[in-house]
Chain A
Amino acid sequence: MRRKSRTRTGDMSTLHVLRAGLIAGIVACLLAASAPAAAPVVEESIAPAQISIGESAQLRIKSSGSDVQPPALPVVPGLEFRVVEQLQGVEIIHGATLATTTTVVRVTPQVAGTFIIPQIAAKSQPLMLRVNPANVGGGPSVATPGISAGTGVGGGGIHMTEDGSAFVKLSADRREVYVGESVPIAIELGVRPGAVSSLNGLPALTGNDFTLNNLSRPPDRQETFIDGMPFVLLTWHTVLAPVKPGNFSLTVEVPLTVRLSTRPKREAQLEDQLGDPFMQRRFGATVKKDIKARSPPLDLAVSALPTEDQPPEFSGAVGTFKISSDISSAAAAAGDPLTLRMHVTGEGNFDRVDSTMLEHVEHWKTYPPTSSFKPSDAIGLKGEKIFEQPVVASIPGAQWLPAVTFAYFDPAARRYETVRTAPLSVTISPSAADTAPTAPKTASGIGVAGISLAALHPDRAAPGAFARSLMPLYLQPRFLALPTLLTLMLTWFRLRGRGDESFRAPLRDRRRSQAARRTLAQMEDAARAGDNARFFALARRTLQETLAVRWQMTPEQVTTEELDARLDRDEDGEEIRRLFALADEAEYAGQGLTGTDLSRWTHIVHRGTLERAP
């Protein structure tokens, strides 16, 4: 019984196993037949082929057929693969319609190096991805875990805008600098294509404590991904220089215009995850808004330049420099301008590199120098500044231009340095004006300058008279003293004559004589008119004036009594007395007199006034 039983049990087990295997096989065949088969991969690509740590590349796997399952992702140590989206499409190849599905995979490197991604399609080649170390200056930590668009401050020094469309980052090599020292900085602006409409200006530092150069140069452009979202990264490399000491927090602002989606936030985020935001925002409902993207603050400690051991030649240059000098010509004529050049090469703040070069050099006339700068890098940190100073030698002979001294502060060594050029030797010949003529250079009729020597009038044998100056005599001060003295003397004579009787008398006599002539003419007119009263009145008045001058009294004081007292009893005296009497008679009695009488009296008055002028 036990054996039979055992045998039955063993038979039953074998049968159950066979049955189960059969059922499982049938079920498996049925499942395999009903399940969709994985579509063949026709194309795969990765872009960009070279990235940096913190960035992502995009692997696109195109498969034939629609609604296919994602292909099996490769496994590469150091790389992380993550499916981002699937895109459906239709292609027409040789007239045949082919449905395709493109799977977008984000590839994020964990370490730097060159990676080989095994082929997924049977006929394709393995893909290569080169991953560089992180960017100099910190670089954009765009793929750093913890970034979340739209959350404000991101990790890794990124300050994303509220809508997650842009960020600005400011990075510097050094955090402790000196006043005037040039500090290379990088300003990075990341913008999402489609989300940022326009860049409205260049980055600007907040505050006036620093100077910023070379922002007008076009920025470096690079495309990258942040958390699976594409960004365009613009980088300005420039130099800033602090103008005063202190501790500062630097911030950079960039004015932007962004497109804000008017859809619900969840929907917009979903669209961002699934598709190209550019196309969605282009055709979706958006509004424009002007914003300013700000970078996280960058702390900078600025120290003042030391005052100890500061050379007198120091003019503010900070950096590391070398100098040399040269002259435009080692030989010149006296009076010819030469150019002394000083070359300052090195690295530092060339805006503060200045020099007065040479001043007050004996036998030389120096002029203020001019300068020009030739940068040897993109940001103007390195280069050559050339100072050009016009100098003129005043005397001929072997002359020396002394060494030029230049002082600067070396921030690396934290001390002042003074460098000097070598003195320069110049041979100065006499100027053309100082060179005396010698013998004729040609024996022919035509001289050196084409002058017909034969046509020249011959030389003079005798030197003739000599003059002290070529300036005309009448313009020489010593000669001008002569006419000046003459004029002064003439003026003196005239002024002196005003108070001197000997000078006044002739003039007075001349005036009296002229007056007497006028009166005599009037008398003749009165005689011709037969106006006796007027005739004798004029005659008496003329004699009164003449005698008044002679007797030093007024004409009114010359009366008949005065005539009796002063005039002699001769013929002339009697005539004058008689005339005075006739004048009285003519005035009061109107005595008639003939024309002959008037003629005689006219003669008497003429004799008494003009011929016997006192």
Chain B
Amino acid sequence: MKRRMQRVAWALTLLGCLAGTHAGAASAQTRYSAAALYNLGNAYAREGKPGMAVVNYERARLLAPDDPDIEANLELVRRSVGVPIEASSRLERAFGTASPTVASWIGVMGLALVAAALISGRLRAPHRWAHRAALILGIAAIGVPVGNGVTLWPRLHEAIVIAGAAPVRVSPAPMGDALFTLKEAEAVRITGEHEGFFLVRTLPGRVGWVWHADLVPVVPRN
């Protein structure tokens, strides 16, 4: 029994060290702040660059999804330039309220809870109902980042038009025929990339190639 407890303690220590390393690494390489991105979006909006303003608001919204100021200014800029706004579904609102970072840690905690419930059940815990409750709670917690990821996935592949009028071409070549033109601040979904061109799908479902300089992905591509 003593050996078993020693093993569990060793495992928990390892997990703690790993989590501590993660937190330390994250704080050492910080780059994005929701407030800073929001302020940058405001600056671009005052500058008369709605495309770049929307890009920064969208980025800020990824870090702080429940911030009402970001939502308000994002909608204001989009309405000002006449860009269609995609209505969010009930599922998106439900899972989108939690920030991805919080959802991530909730998921890890859920996984740890499931693991602890399974292990303690093996070790003859006195209260079986507690095991089952912990198991259900852990699985529910794991579902939080999964649901968040499903609702957030399309936005992670979105890009915003920053050019005044971005021609959408039939082929990924500068001389290709233009199918139609995108307005500044319009959001498109990136579905492919080739030789400096993005294959995009608009909200109405039209598809074509856009020169990369005319778009800025919401999540920067490294």
* Given A337-B174, A437-B40, A472-B101, A449 and B122 contact (CB-CB distance below 8 Å): no
In the assembled complex, the Cα of A431 lies from the Cα of B215 at a distance in Å of 11
Give the interface residue-count category, chain B: 35 or more
User: What number of residue pairs across chains A and B have CB atoms under 8 A from each other?
Assistant: 208
A264 at the interface (CB under 8 A from B): no
Interface residues of A in 519-553 (CB under 8 A from B): none
Contact A459 B211 (CB under 8 A): no
A270 at the interface (CB under 8 A from B): no
A490 at the interface (CB under 8 A from B): yes
A470 contacts across to B, CB distance below 8 A = 32, 59, 62-63, 218-220
In the assembled complex, the Cα of A595 lies from the Cα of B72 at a distance in Å of 81
A33 at the interface (CB under 8 A from B): no
Residue on A with the closest CB to B46? A440
For A, the interface residue count at a CB cutoff of 8 angstroms equals 67
A388 contacts across to B, CB distance below 8 A = 175
Interface hit among A48-56, A410-418, A473-481, A585-593: A473-481
Beta-carbon contacts of B192-208 to A below 8 Å, as 1s and 0s?
00011000000000000
Interface hit among A166-174, A460-468, A558-566: A460-468
* Given A437-B47, A450-B80, A462-B35, A472 and B19 contact (CB-CB distance below 8 Å): no
Contact A483 B76 (CB under 8 A): no
Contact B111 A486 (CB under 8 A): yes
In the assembled complex, the Cα of A460 lies from the Cα of B68 at a distance in Å of 13
In the assembled complex, the Cα of A536 lies from the Cα of B18 at a distance in Å of 59
Interface residues of A in 425-472 (CB under 8 A from B): 431-433, 437-442, 447-453, 455-460, 462-472
Contact B31 A467 (CB under 8 A): yes
Contact A507 B122 (CB under 8 A): yes
A89 at the interface (CB under 8 A from B): no
* Given A472-B103, A486-B115, A457 and B31 contact (CB-CB distance below 8 Å): no
In the assembled complex, the Cα of A478 lies from the Cα of B47 at a distance in Å of 38
Contact B104 A432 (CB under 8 A): no
Residue on A with the closest CB to B219? A470
Interface residues of B in 25-49 (CB under 8 A from A): 25-27, 29-36, 38-40, 42-49
Q: CB within 8 A of B26: which of A449, A467, A487, A502?
A: A467
A442 contacts across to B, CB distance below 8 A = 48
Contact A494 B118 (CB under 8 A): yes
* Given A451-B45, A475-B149, A467 and B173 contact (CB-CB distance below 8 Å): no
Contact B80 A449 (CB under 8 A): yes
Q: CB within 8 A of A469: which of B32, B69, B175?
A: B32
Q: 5 tightest CB-CB pairs across the interface, nearest first? A: A448-B48, A466-B30, A335-B213, A472-B100, A473-B104
List, sorted by A's number, 20 A–B pairs whose CB atoms are closer than 8 Å: A333-B213, A339-B174, A367-B173, A390-B175, A431-B213, A450-B80, A452-B80, A457-B42, A464-B33, A464-B35, A466-B32, A466-B33, A468-B26, A471-B219, A474-B103, A486-B15, A489-B115, A490-B119, A502-B3, A503-B123
Spell out B's residues near A (CB within 8 Å). 1, 3-4, 11, 14-15, 18-19, 22, 25-27, 29-36, 38-40, 42-53, 59, 62-63, 69, 72-73, 76-77, 80-81, 100-101, 103-105, 107-108, 111-112, 114-115, 118-119, 122-124, 145, 148-149, 152, 156, 162-163, 173-175, 184, 195-196, 211-213, 216, 218-220
| With A365-B196, A468-B30 already in contact, 18 other A-B pairs whose C-beta atoms are closer than 8 Å | A392-B196, A432-B213, A433-B216, A447-B48, A449-B50, A451-B77, A455-B76, A456-B73, A465-B30, A465-B34, A466-B27, A467-B32, A468-B25, A472-B145, A473-B105, A482-B108, A486-B115, A506-B123
